[in-house]
Amino acid sequence: MRKEYLLTPGPTPLPPQISLAMARPIIHHRTPQFQEVLKEVSLGLKWVFQTNNDVFIISSSGTGAMEAAVANLLSSGDTALVVQGGKFGERWSEIAKSYGIIPEVIDVEWGKSVSCEEIKKKLLANPKIKAVFTTLCETSTGVDNDIAAIGAVLKDTPAVLVVDAISGLGAVDIKTDIWGVDVVVSGSQKGLMLPPGLGFICVSPKAWKLVEASKSPRYYLDLRKAKKAFDKNDTPFTSSITLIIALNEALKMMKSDGLEYIFKRHKTMADATRAAMKALGLELFAPTAASDGVTAVKVPQGVDGEKLVKTMRDTYGVTIAGGQDELKGKVFRIAHMGFIAESDIITALACLEKVLTQMGYKFDLGASVKAAESVFLKQ
């Protein structure tokens, strides 16, 4: 009889109407019926990606879409600038290396965002840099990078800007075309409120020249094949039919809310969560550049961070995320992206208070919930 709550930065909970869309009888993917769905989805994706370029759908996790960006843009021996401020920034370097691409790394302290000055300096110092790989919302640290500013830095350079917006898309703003972002990759299980299994990638005309020139071996992730198929409302390989039908539902829901409202809703939940942590005397892991998609919080001294997350989940049914890699046990992360509502935040805060109390941490019971309520009331 336990009610379960999911506040993780992917997967996020699914609206029931999306879950039920996946349970509909399956249709074949090479039919006019499915082509209609693909046509609608294509328009919806352009809208949510804020771009006029095609948004290709790959049956893969977000990492597959990241690899598609690397393999289609660059060849062995090329140099790329990588912003590394967390686990997912590091992934760009790992993928690049596996293709023989030389990553020039900007090591950003975890919990901070990248400095545009440093990007500018690196680009000036190394004219070989063909692409800059960065992250919109670095899920592992709860930090947003200033993509608009990075876009402005790159605008008059030959380098293309590639942004991992897996965690951010549909939660925080990314004006792809206006900000001059050449390539945006994303995944289904975050702001888009779907299960994992779909990767997305859009490519600007500037970046498409690199796609045509890349010598990296690729087949399944070959964007030239994707383009050829998409031009005919098709996918190059068998589509993940149920997920794409669910995506169509998700995009309709999002359209009826509007992007502005969606971003505001996420900001309100983030503000509430941040105020709540302050009220508990807890420290944010990223006090500046904190993302509106996920809040990372330092585990207070004397509290076992892994046990905290485990108890909330296994004893009380509230799943938040722990820390990853070097942050294991040192932070916990409360997501407020996708189909997460005020009520989920309140529930998670009350549960956090319960477990923190049981673990001997001292604070005024109810303080975090009260702080969140105050933020919500102001909206």
* Sites of contact with a copy of itself (CB under 8 A): 4, 6, 8, 10-11, 13-14, 19-20, 22-29, 31-32, 59-64, 67, 71, 76, 94-95, 98-100, 187, 189, 195-197, 216-222, 237-243, 313-314, 319, 321
Nearer to a copy of itself, 122 or 225 (CB): 225
Nearer to a copy of itself, 142 or 180 (CB): 142
Least Å distance, CB 265 to a copy of itself, is 20
Nearest CA among 105, 189, 111 for reference residue 145: 111
Nearer to a copy of itself, 185 or 371 (CB): 185
Nearer to a copy of itself, 71 or 131 (CB): 71
Phi, psi angle pair for 213, to nearest 5°: -95, -20
Please tell me the distance from the alpha carbon of residue 253 to that of residue 114, in angstroms, as a whole number. Answer: 33
Continuous segment of H or E residues that includes residue 56: strand 55-59
Nearer to a copy of itself, 123 or 313 (CB): 313
- DSSP assignment of 294-335: EEEEEPPTTS-HHHHHHHHHHTT-EE-EE--GGGTTTEEEEE
Least Å distance, CB 92 to a copy of itself, is 11
Least Å distance, CB 223 to a copy of itself, is 13
Nearer to a copy of itself, 42 or 242 (CB): 242
Nearest CA among 232, 166, 176 for reference residue 205: 176
Least Å distance, CB 270 to a copy of itself, is 20
Least Å distance, CB 35 to a copy of itself, is 13
Continuous segment of H or E residues that includes residue 272: helix 259-279
How do strand 183-187 and strand 137-138 relate by DSSP bridges?
A: unpaired
Least Å distance, CB 310 to a copy of itself, is 9
Q: What angle do CA 149, 7, 245 make, to 5 degrees?
A: 80
Residue 200 near residue 45, CB atoms below 8 Å? yes
